C-alpha cells in the first residue's frame, strides 16, 4: 500500500486563491440551488405517475435521489471555501464518501437507463425481456449496495493512512492506489461507458431500421439527438475526473500542483451532472412518451409488419361494409 507523494502545504491551494475561490463558490452554489430544485421537481413528477410509471422511471427516481444526495453535501463544501475550515476530518470524509457513492450510482443508473431503453425498443415482444425489466427495483438496490459497499472500506482505510487533516483540500490518496484505481477506471467508468456506447448504437440502429421511422409516427432525428446528448453529458461530466485520476497514478512519485488543481476542477465538473441529469431524462421521457408509444413500437419491427397490414385491410373492409349498409338503409 502506498500513497501519493504530495503535501497539500507544498502546493498553492487553488481553492484559497481569490479568483479560483470565487469560481468554486459560485459554481458549487449554483449546482446546489439548481440541482436541489430540478431533482426535487423530478421526484414530485415521478412519484405522481403511480399508474403510468414505467420500468425506466424506477431508474430515473433512483437517479434523482442520487443526484439530490450529492447536492446536499455541497453547502458544507461551500462554507469551507468561504473560510469556515474548522470541520471535523471525519465529517469531511463522510461527505466525500457520500459524494463519490452518489457519483458512481449516477453512472451505473444512467447505464441502466440506456440499457433498458435499448432492450425495450429492440425486443418489445420478448417475454424474457419483459420479465427482466420488472426487476428494475432489485437492480437499483444492487447499485446502491455495490457503490456504498465498495467505497466504505476505502474511506475507513484512508482515515488510517492519511495523517494530515485538510478536509476538502486533501489529494485523492484513496483513489490512486493501484487496485482501487484499476477498479474505479474499469468497473466504475470504462465498462459503463462501453455499455452505453453499445446500447446507444443498438437503439439508433433499431429506430433507423424500423418501418415506422419512414413515417411521422417517430421523429428518428430527435431520438438520435437525444442519444447523442446523453452520451455528450456522460463524457463531459465524468471523463475529465477519471482522466485526472489516471494521471495521478502516472505522476505518483511526484505529483505536480497543476494536477491537483485539475482534479479539483474535474470534481466540480462532475458535480454539474446533477443539473444535466434532470434535463436529459425530461427530454428522454417526453421523446418516448409522445413519439414512441407501444403501438408504434409494434409497427417498428418486420415481425409485426404483416399483422399491421392485415389489420389495416380488415379496418378498410369494415369501413366499406358499413358504407354499403348505410346505402342500403337509405
Q: 217 φ, ψ to 5°?
A: -70, -30
Q: Cell numbers at residue 293, please? A: 408509444
Q: Which residue has the cell 463522510?
A: 94
Within a 13 Å sphere around the CA of 45, how many CA atoms are in the beta-carbon half?
15
DSSP H/E element including 202: helix 191-208
CB contact burial 44-81 (16+ within 10 A = b; e otherwise): ebbeeeeeeebbbbbbbbbbbbbbbbbbbbbebbbebb
Least confident of 109-118, 191-200, 247-256: 247-256
CB contact burial 238-261 (16+ within 10 A = b; e otherwise): bebbbebbebbbeebeebeeebbb
In tens, the pLDDT along 6-29 reads: 444 456 555 555 556 788 899 999
Mean pLDDT value across residues 114-119: 86
Q: Kindly list the domain boundaries of the chain, sorted by start residue.
A: 12-299, 305-330
> How far apart are the C-alpha atoms of 242 and 119, rounded to whole Å?
28
Residue spans of beta strands (DSSP E) within the chain = none
What is the pTM assigned to this prediction? 0.77
How is residue 190 annotated by DSSP? Answer: I
Average pLDDT, the chain: 75
Of residues 54 and 79, the one with the higher pLDDT is 79
Taking every pair of C-alpha atoms in the chain, what is the biggest distance, in angstroms? 98
| pLDDT for residue 303 | 44
The answer to whether 276 and 30 are in contact (CB under 8 A) is no
- What's CA 115's distance to the chain center, in Å? 12
Statement: residue 32 has pLDDT above 60: yes
Q: What is the CATH number of domain 12-299?
A: 1.20.1070.10
| pLDDT for residue 68 | 93
Mean pLDDT value across residues 275-297: 56
Mean pLDDT value across residues 111-138: 85
The answer to whether 171 and 101 are in contact (CB under 8 A) is no
Amino acid at each position: 500500500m502506498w500513497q501519493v507523494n504530495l503535501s497539500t502545504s507544498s502546493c498553492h491551494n487553488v481553492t484559497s486563491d481569490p479568483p479560483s475561490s470565487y469560481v468554486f463558490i459560485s459554481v458549487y452554489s449554483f449546482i446546489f440551488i439548481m440541482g436541489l430544485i430540478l431533482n426535487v421537481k423530478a421526484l414530485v413528477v415521478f412519484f405522481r405517475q403511480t399508474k403510468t410509471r414505467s420500468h425506466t422511471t424506477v431508474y430515473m427516481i433512483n437517479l434523482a435521489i442520487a443526484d439530490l444526495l450529492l447536492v446536499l453535501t455541497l453547502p458544507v463544501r461551500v462554507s469551507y471555501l468561504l473560510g469556515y475550515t474548522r470541520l471535523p476530518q471525519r465529517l469531511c470524509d463522510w461527505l466525500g464518501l457520500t459524494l463519490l457513492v452518489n457519483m458512481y450510482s449516477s453512472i451505473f443508473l444512467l447505464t441502466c437507463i440506456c440499457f433498458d431503453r435499448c432492450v425495450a425498443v429492440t425486443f418489445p415482444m420478448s417475454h424474457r425481456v419483459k420479465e427482466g425489466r420488472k426487476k428494475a427495483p432489485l437492480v437499483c438496490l444492487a447499485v446502491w449496495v455495490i457503490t456504498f459497499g465498495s467505497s466504505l472500506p476505502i474511506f475507513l482505510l484512508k482515515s488510517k493512512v492519511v495523517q494530515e487533516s485538510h478536509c476538502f483540500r486533501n489529494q485523492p490518496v484513496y483513489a490512486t492506489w493501484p487496485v482501487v484505481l484499476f477498479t474505479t477506471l474499469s468497473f466504475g467508468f470504462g465498462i459503463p461507458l462501453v455499455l452505453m456506447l453499445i446500447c446507444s448504437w443498438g437503439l439508433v440502429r433499431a429506430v433507423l431500421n424500423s418501418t415506422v421511422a419512414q413515417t411521422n409516427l417517430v421523429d428518428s432525428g430527435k431520438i438520435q439527438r437525444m442519444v447523442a446528448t446523453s452520451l455528450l453529458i456522460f463524457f463531459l461530466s465524468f471523463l475529465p475526473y477519471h482522466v485526472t485520476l489516471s494521471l495521478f497514478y502516472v505522476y505518483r512519485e511526484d505529483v505536480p500542483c497543476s494536477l491537483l488543481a485539475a482534479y479539483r476542477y474535474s470534481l466540480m465538473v462532475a458535480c454539474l451532472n446533477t443539473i444535466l441529469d434532470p434535463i436529459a431524462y425530461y427530454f428522454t421521457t417526453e421523446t418516448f412518451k409522445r413519439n414512441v408509444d407501444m403501438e408504434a413500437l409494434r409497427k417498428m419491427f418486420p415481425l409485426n409488419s404483416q399483422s399491421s397490414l392485415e389489420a389495416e385491410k380488415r379496418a378498410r373492409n369494415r369501413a366499406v361494409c358499413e358504407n354499403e349498409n348505410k346505402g342500403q338503409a337509405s
